Amino acid sequence: MLTPERIEEIKRDAQEEAETIYGNCSANITNIELLKLLAALEESQQQRDVAQANYKTYYAEATEVSKRLAEAQQTIARQREVLGFYANQEHWELPSFGRGQSKVTSDRGSKARELLKEGSDKV
Give 118's pLDDT tier (boundaries 50, 70, 90): confident
* Long-range contacts at 39-45 (CB < 8 A, ≥ 24 apart): 41/2, 41/7, 42/4, 42/7
pLDDT value at 68 more than 90: yes
Check: CB of residue 67 under 8 Å from CB of residue 43.
no
Prediction pTM value: 0.56
Q: Which of 16-20, 80-84, 105-109 has the lowest mean pLDDT?
A: 16-20
Handedness of CA 66, 72, 75, 81 (dihedral sign): negative
CA-wise closest residue to 108 among 87, 86, 77, 93 = 86
